[in-house]
């Protein structure tokens, strides 16, 4: 492993962590650390958990495939399998998912996947007629069918995770500052009035688009993307048997509602639902599922939220590096010196991040939280046994710093 991605053995005075953000990432992290004997203080700035990017009425659990076997596909497949194993102990809707090959690019991917061999319990490449029979509605495209995929109600799932965790939840408190006390090796989290909310040896940032909102994490690149879902009464359409993905998605009835969407806007002024976004979602749905056009009558706004995405589309799961140390010791990377000539990485002791999931957090957050919790708990053997050896490198919060240094760019 390159020196700049090496992790030390951590020495904590107590097994207590503060997790900032109680969406799916924060709740997964709380659950996984609790299973390793840790006590968690979970801080959420809103009045309730799972209100922002994890606030949709329903969210999809599915893998992401590439035409040829790739690191990205293996990551998403591993995350998907881990997620479904975890969900087997909770309530969810494993109804399956059809990903329609709705354009030239997707049809080329579908054709390439059809040349590969998959277990039929994981993936079936089906014709338009077969897709129509599975979906319960006419589909005009061939599709990738994932029998083990499905959907969940994110807020219920988050509550279920916390119900099985050793935690103390603090809502309606916004963390504005992180302060290190070197006398007792503790971090303090302060609110807007500079009052200490709690202290612990470990802090994990799980607060979505705000993960880079502190001085020690501001170098972490991310791009907020606004997404809005829409709703229609399930009485409007009938017989949708599974999740149907196209450029967006349509979810079977849940609590009398079909959720569909979602918009994907990199530029936005405010986070709010709009009728314009509803019409975009509706137009997209009718384009790829024209059989629904005459059935759809009433459409209402669902939920709007900004999701944190990363430049390479992989999440962040790891320790936050000491940026000054990286600048001092790894600047010669621009000259191409071999790995062994560098000292091991140094980090902001006790500070970690889990985020950057984009629209795939429901599928990938459990897998990443498991890896990060094992790292924090020094369970290196378990980590190597259950995860690809390169996983922590791929998800490392310093990976973009290293790319900048290799290009000769200043990072401070």
User: What domain range includes position 347?
Assistant: 3-53+156-221+311-406
CATH number at residue 10: 3.50.50.60
Percentage of residues in the chain having pLDDT higher than 70: 98
Checking if the pLDDT of 32 tops 90, the result is yes
Last-in-domain residue among 255, 284, 309: 309
Q: Are residues 303 and 336 in the same domain?
A: no
Residue with tokens 């240094």: 405
Q: In what order do the strands lie in the sheet with 316-321?
A: 167-171, 39-44, 16-20, 202-205, 347-355, 316-321
**Mean per-residue pLDDT, 305-309:** 97
Distances from the Cα of 125 to the Cα of 84, 90, 121, angstroms: 21, 29, 12
Q: Are residues 141 and 256 in the same domain?
A: yes
CATH number at residue 120: 3.30.9.10
Last-in-domain residue among 242, 274, 309: 309
Q: Are residues 139 and 274 in the same domain?
A: yes
**Mean per-residue pLDDT, 5-21:** 97
Q: Are residues 296 and 324 in the same domain?
A: no
Closest Cα partner for 8 from 364, 344, 372, 404? 344
Cα dihedral 248/252/257/259 (nearest 10):
-10
Q: Are residues 89 and 37 in the same domain?
A: no
Q: Is residue 412 part of a domain?
A: no
Last-in-domain residue among 264, 293, 309: 309
**Contact present, 59 and 154 (Cβ < 8 Å):** yes
Q: Are residues 132 and 84 in the same domain?
A: yes
Q: Are residues 287 and 139 in the same domain?
A: yes
Calpha distance 101→213 (Å, rounded): 39
Q: Are residues 189 and 251 in the same domain?
A: no
Q: Are residues 75 and 120 in the same domain?
A: yes
**Count of domains observed in the chain:** 2
Q: Are residues 46 and 164 in the same domain?
A: yes
**Mean per-residue pLDDT, 360-364:** 97
Q: Is residue 14 part of a domain?
A: yes
Q: Are residues 264 and 375 in the same domain?
A: no
Calpha distance 191→26 (Å, rounded): 18
Classify residue 296 by burial, with Cβ atoms within 10 Å: 0-12, 13-18, 19+. middle
**pLDDT at 339 (0 to 100):** 66
Q: Are residues 138 and 234 in the same domain?
A: yes
**pLDDT at 71 (0 to 100):** 93
Q: Is the peptide bond before 107 cis (omega within 30 degrees of 0)?
A: no
């Amino acid at each position: 492993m390159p020196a700049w991605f090496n992790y030390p053995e951590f020495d904590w005075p107590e097994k207590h962590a503060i997790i900032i953000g109680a969406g799916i990432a924060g709740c997964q992290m709380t659950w996984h650390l609790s299973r390793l004997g840790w006590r968690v203080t979970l801080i959420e700035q809103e009045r309730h958990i799972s209100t922002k990017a994890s606030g949709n009425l329903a969210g999809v659990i599915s893998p992401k495939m590439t035409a040829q076997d790739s690191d990205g596909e293996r990551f998403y497949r591993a995350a998907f399998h881990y997620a479904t194993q975890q969900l087997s102990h909770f309530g969810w809707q494993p109804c399956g998912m059809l990903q329609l090959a709705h354009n030239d690019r997707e049809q080329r991917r579908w054709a390439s996947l059809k040349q590969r061999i998959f277990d039929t319990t994981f993936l079936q490449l089906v014709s338009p007629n077969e897709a129509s029979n599975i979906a319960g509605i006419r589909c005009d495209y061939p599709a990738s069918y994932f029998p083990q995929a499905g959907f969940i109600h994110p807020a219920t799932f988050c509550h279920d995770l916390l119900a099985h965790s050793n935690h103390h939840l603090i809502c309606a408190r916004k963390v504005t500052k992180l302060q290190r006390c070197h006398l007792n090796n503790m971090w303090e989290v302060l609110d807007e009035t500079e009052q200490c909310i709690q202290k612990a040896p470990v802090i994990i940032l799980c607060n979505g688009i705000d993960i880079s909102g502190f001085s020690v994490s501001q170098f972490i690149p991310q791009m907020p993307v606004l997404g809005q879902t829409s709703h229609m009464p399930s009485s409007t359409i009938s017989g949708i048997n599974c999740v149907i993905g196209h450029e967006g998605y349509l979810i079977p009835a849940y609590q009398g509602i079909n959720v569909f969407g979602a918009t994907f806007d990199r530029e936005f002024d405010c986070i709010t639902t709009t009728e314009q976004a509803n019409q975009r979602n509706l137009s997209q749905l009718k384009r790829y599922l024209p059989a629904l056009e005459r059935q759809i009558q009433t459409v209402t706004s669902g939920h709007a939220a900004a999701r944190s995405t990363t430049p390479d589309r992989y999440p962040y799961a790891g320790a936050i590096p000491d940026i000054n140390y990286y600048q001092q010791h790894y600047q010669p990377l621009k000259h191409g010196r071999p790995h062994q000539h560098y000292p091991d990485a140094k980090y902001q002791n006790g500070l970690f991040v889990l985020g950057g999931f984009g629209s795939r957090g429901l599928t990938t957050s459990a897998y990443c939280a498991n890896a990060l919790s094992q790292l924090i708990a020094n369970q290196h053997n378990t980590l190597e046994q259950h995860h690809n050896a390169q996983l922590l490198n791929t998800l490392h919060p310093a990976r973009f710093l290293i790319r900048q240094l290799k290009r000769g760019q200043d990072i401070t």
